[in-house]
Amino acid sequence: MTAAAVRLDDRFYVTAAIDYVNGSPHLGHAYEKVACDVLARHHALRGREVRLTVGSDEHSQSVERAAAERGMTPEAFIAVQSELFIDLFRRLDIGFTAYVHTSADGNRRTTERVMRELHDRGHLYKGPYRAWFCPACEQFYTEKQLVDGCCPIHGTPVEWVEEENWFFRLSSFQQPLLEHFEANADFLTPEARRNEILNVIRGGLDDISVSRGFSHWGFPLPFDPTQVVYVWFDALLAYVTGIGFPDDEVGFTRFWPADVHVIGKDITRFHAIMWPAMLMAAGLPLPRRVHAHGFITLGGQKMSKTRGVFVDPGSMVEQFGSDAVRYVLMAEIPFDRDGDFSMEVFVDRYNADLANDYGNLVSRTEKMVARYRGGRVPAGGPAEPIDGELRALAEEVVPAVDAAVADLDLSGALAHARRLVGRANKYIEETAPWKLAAAGDARLGTVLRNLLEAIRVSTVLLAPVVPRAAAAVAADLGLELDADLTDDAAAWYALTEDAPVRVGEILFPRLDREQVLAGS
């Protein structure tokens, strides 16, 4: 089993975590998938061929039990539940290129291929297993790891399991993993997660059970049909299934290894220890990066439907639009740590950044171009130092946004884009186009042209986060947002002189704070 390990800069592959579907999608799911979509869209705008894989983790015991409680088969239950996730992702404009059902035939072929490969290479062996098992996270724990006799993560009761299982020789990959971490400083980010996992690896790795005999819900092992594959093994393999493994060798070779796996911090060990060891054992390249984001709290409290601490992302999209939800999540929640969300924060950030700044800049400029220049891109005229300041800032923020995205600092990338929007709004007040028009000043054309250019550049920068608004503005200005705009993004006067400029609808109507909060 081989795959090209040469970096191909004309492609980009990002994956989101494969979600359990025993519950309903929540704000954390929305946040993670929007972030992955922003990365994908950013790289697509830079001319790269992009793939984004999402999916549902379906062979868990929690899914089987939830189905039984509803009197349904696991297959029927999954069909209903996965549609809830797919519907939310579509409403959030998540442009995934693959949705992998881990229980589907495609992932079964992947699983059978890899499990047989590991078996034939001597990385699996059969032996007795005795441990405490948590059905919620599908993980085994020692007595010392339990907290008051319960799962240390979920706080729920665990079950004692004794049976013959197949084991993966994870312990034999301790040194190779350490060497990989040492040679690749950004393999796992942020730094806190990297240090945590390095401590785990240095403390010694135990072989892990990769099959189950007490359940029939799963893929049978190709070399031992009395056992089914451990859910985490077939879930992790969804990342290669999503780009065609094992059937599409050309597609797989082009897009593997992944540029980044985006996951929640609670599943870091699976992705930064077990997954790379699996790939090493199978002879496949490792992903270039695993990024573990933090959790979202609501008003300082952990989300909980039973306690009423819950925001339905679908309802938010319905009320405020997908762009608004996408933008506020990316702007407010840092991508490397926990962050807090509240409706107060949502309204304030929306009004400040989208209604007052970007939306207002677009609306004012388009209306002035219509009023003073007949809805046409004016020619440039006499220039002053203040014009150069706006242009210089545009040339500065484009590479700054690129660098921030490369660092997976998505809120930082938006902060750079906001600098240009804010400076353009200030430029309006400083130049007062209405006064120039009244005086018949030739500088009016220069000012309006500069404002249109500032809108063009900021729209390119914001497009991955607010794709609907960006598409509307692009249509107003006659831009194509599906082309490689990196080299030309900061090029001043890229708009064609005398090209039509439409006055579009208001992008982000200002929200009444009291009214929104009263209804939340």
At 337 the three-state DSSP class reads coil
Give Cα separations from 447 to 109, 396, 418, 434, 457 (angstroms).
61, 20, 20, 11, 15
Asked if residue 238 lies in contact with residue 107, where contact means CB atoms within 8 angstroms, the answer is: yes
Look up 265 and say whether it is catalytic: no
From 42, 43, 123, 137, the catalytic residue: 137
Token pair listed for 368 = 């002035």
β-partners of residue 290 are: 188, 261
Look up 302 and say whether it is catalytic: yes
Whether residue 285 is preceded by a cis peptide bond, meaning omega within 30 degrees of 0, is no
DSSP state of 376: B
From 119, 150, 154, 180, the catalytic residue: 154
Token pair listed for 112 = 């059978």
Look up 151 and say whether it is catalytic: yes
Beta strand residue intervals within 210-343, DSSP E: 211-212, 220-221, 224-229, 260-264, 290-293, 296-298, 301-302, 339-341
Task: State the CB neighbour count (10 A cutoff) for residue 142.
Answer: 9
Look up 26 and say whether it is catalytic: yes
Asked if residue 242 lies in contact with residue 169, where contact means CB atoms within 8 angstroms, the answer is: no
From 126, 302, 367, 426, the catalytic residue: 302
**Side chain identity at residue 217, one-letter code:** W
Asked if residue 3 lies in contact with residue 284, where contact means CB atoms within 8 angstroms, the answer is: yes
Give the separation between CA 428 and CA 431, rounded to whole angstroms. 5
Give the separation between CA 227 and CA 519, rounded to whole angstroms. 52
Look up 137 and say whether it is catalytic: yes
From 126, 305, 367, 435, the catalytic residue: 305
From 101, 134, 271, 293, the catalytic residue: 134
Asked if residue 281 lies in contact with residue 33, where contact means CB atoms within 8 angstroms, the answer is: no
Look up 150 and say whether it is catalytic: no
Look up 36 and say whether it is catalytic: no
At 143 the three-state DSSP class reads coil
Look up 305 and say whether it is catalytic: yes
Whether residue 190 is preceded by a cis peptide bond, meaning omega within 30 degrees of 0, is yes
Q: Nearest 10 degrees: CA dihedral of 55, 59, 61, 64? A: 90
Give Cα separations from 159 to 22, 63, 266, 509 (angstroms).
19, 17, 21, 53
Alpha helix (H) residue ranges in 249-384: 249-255, 268-269, 275-282, 313-320, 322-332, 343-349, 360-373
Catalytic (active-site) positions: 26, 29, 134, 137, 151, 154, 302, 305
